[in-house]
Amino acid sequence: MKKNVKPGAAAVSFLVLLLIQAGNPANVSALQTHGGPEGLYAHQGAHLFLVISLVIFLLNIRRLQLKRYKAWRLFSGGAFLLAMWSIWAFIGHVAEIMTPESSFVTLPGHSVPFLQVGSWRDVLFYFVKMDHLVCLPALLFFYAGLKKLLSEFSENGTQ
Amino acid sequence: MTLWSLSPVWFIDFSGSLGMIVVSCLCLGTARRINRKAPEHALASYLLWLSAAIFAFSISRSLGHIIKHGLYFSGYSDTWRHLSPVSGSINTLTFVVIGAVTLYFRQIETIMNRMSRDRDKITVFSRELLELNRDIESIVSERTRVEMGLRFAHEIRNPAMIIGGLARRMDKNMPEESPDRERLKQIVDQSEKLETLVNMLDQPEKKSSGKFEALELSALVEDVITIVQDEADRKGIIIILDRAPSPLTFQGNRHLIKIAFMHILRNGLESCASGDTIQVVTEAGERTVIAKFEDNGPGIPQEIADHIFDPFFTTREGSTGIGLPYVKQIIEEHNGSIVLSSSKNTGTLILIRLPPLLGELSRQE
């Protein structure tokens, strides 16, 4: 006996099965699993992409001779610092991988751990972890540029 | 081996994260204010996008760091191991968004340049339109005055002639010694004045040379081509100007002639397809200056070409059919002539002859 199946009901059933399978990916041989390193590589790749795009942004500002204007000088400063930060953070992630868990010790009476500094690598790790020293000024430059532009827009209209 | 406390690192991390949240909020707020001041400005929109991307980056990153420290001090360090990949992934996405937005700056710059060029063009066009409008108003007012004069002359011509004729006849037949003779003479004199006035009104100055000036035909054609060049480029139609080696000076109204030429070129652009060519030639004729507009478009069938200059004749939906008749009127107002020759699939040629001095060509013909 032939059974009539409605297309809508079939689609819903398919989606439900797909969701059940998605919750159990090991059983699906066609699904490629993503391990931990892939996430790190993607993150590092994003840092490099950010550096490249900011460098292109800076080159465009230079090509258009926008540095004549104070707002654009400030944007340039912000973009430069943000690119520096991205490189800084990239190195920070590498240093983090190279620093073993055993390098961190918590002394009695101290809530914040200590770093056992025995090589240049540990020193590098210590300093690159303070990336806000570059990142926050980058944003401040950008904010100053926006403020300057706002005052120019207020004075001169939209021209 | 020495031990370095991570307290300074953590302090900078925590306070820096708070600082980034504050500054990114300020950035977004300022960008929004700029955008409100100039909502149609491409740069304002771009800065809003960039600030929003930076805001998303700062919030996701800083909140992640603050939560990490919070969990550590509340004894839930292990929970961070589960949250860390989520926070890192969001960060990755925000880097990519910032990068993409900064790369888009080049496009914004191109858009802004184009807008600036278009704004300059619009300024020039609107100035020309204003001048043209003023000229047209002046022409219309002059025509109205002339028409009123003609109507007035038409209405009073017959009574004036009759009064004058009768008065002269009475004067002829009246005895020399008649006391009314002097009064009749005054009637004759006044009716003659009236007749002269009617004749003056009946033959108004045909052309007003006040708005006409010495123009150079090739330069004028070149100006008009510049105006329609963008439209031609968009349609892929090539316009070639073959200008006369020497200046072709004539008397004319700059705006009206420009309108006439522009209309002819626009008609050509509308009928031609991509890859077609419109060739414009300026040359000196026999006591005339000549402008030829020739295209290799689909041409016009003879039955349409015969009526192309008839007012209100149109083959296009939405067209008023007064374009080419208006062109003809303008050329004729300059005592020039316009001839169209075309047939299907052979293109169209419009030949305009203008006299160097007003009135010259019509006298020749």
What are the beta bridge partners of residue B350? B293, B340
- In B, minimum Cα distance to A37 occurs at B85
Residue A47 in contact with partner chain B when CB distance is under 8 A: yes
| pLDDT attached to residue B112 | 82
| pLDDT attached to residue B281 | 95
CB pairs under 8 A between A and B: 134
- In B, minimum Cα distance to A123 occurs at B4
Domain boundaries, chain A: 35-156
**Calpha distance B132→B253 (Å, rounded):** 10
Angular region, A22: left φ>0, alpha ψ -120 to 50, beta rest: alpha
ipTM of this predicted structure? 0.75
What's the number of CA atoms in the CB half-sphere (13 Å) around residue A1? 2
Q: How far is B78 from chain A (nearest CA, A)?
A: 14
Q: What is the pLDDT along chain B (365 residues), one digit of tens a residue?
A: 788 888 899 999 999 999 999 999 999 999 999 999 888 788 888 999 999 999 999 999 999 999 988 888 888 888 888 888 888 888 899 989 999 998 888 888 888 888 888 888 888 778 777 777 776 776 666 667 667 777 777 778 888 888 888 888 888 888 877 888 888 888 888 888 888 888 777 665 544 445 678 899 999 999 889 888 888 898 899 999 999 999 999 988 887 888 889 889 988 888 899 999 999 999 998 889 999 999 998 888 887 888 888 766 666 654 545 578 888 888 888 889 999 988 777 889 999 999 987 555 444 44
| pLDDT attached to residue A25 | 45
Residue A71 in contact with residue A149, Cβ under 8 Å? yes
Q: Could you please report the per-residue DSSP string of A51-70? A: HHHHHHHHHHHHHTTGGGSH
Q: What number of residues does chain A have?
A: 159
**Calpha distance B335→B308 (Å, rounded):** 20
Selected for mutation to probe chain A from B34, B41, B101 (highest A CB count within 10 Å) is B34
From chain A residues 7-36, the ones with a CB under 8 A of any chain B CB are: none
**B54·A49 Cβ contact <8 A:** no
Residue A122 tokens read as 């540990």
Residue partners of A32: CB distance under 8 A and separation at least 6: none
Which of A76, A96, A80, A97 shows the shortest CA–CA distance to A134? A80
- Domain B213-364: state its class: alpha beta
Residue B24 in contact with residue B33, Cβ under 8 Å? no
Residue B268 in contact with residue B278, Cβ under 8 Å? yes
**B24·A139 Cβ contact <8 A:** yes
Domain boundaries, chain B: 7-103, 126-202, 213-364
A147: nearest CB among B4, B30, B88? B30
Selected for mutation to probe chain B from A44, A53, A61 (highest B CB count within 10 Å) is A53
From chain B residues 100-129, the ones with a CB under 8 A of any chain A CB are: 100, 102-103, 105-106, 109
Residues of A in contact with B58 (CB under 8 A): 139
| pLDDT attached to residue A23 | 46
Phi, psi (rounded to 5 degrees) for B242: -110, 95
Residue A131 in contact with residue B65, Cβ under 8 Å? no
Residue B361 in contact with residue B288, Cβ under 8 Å? yes
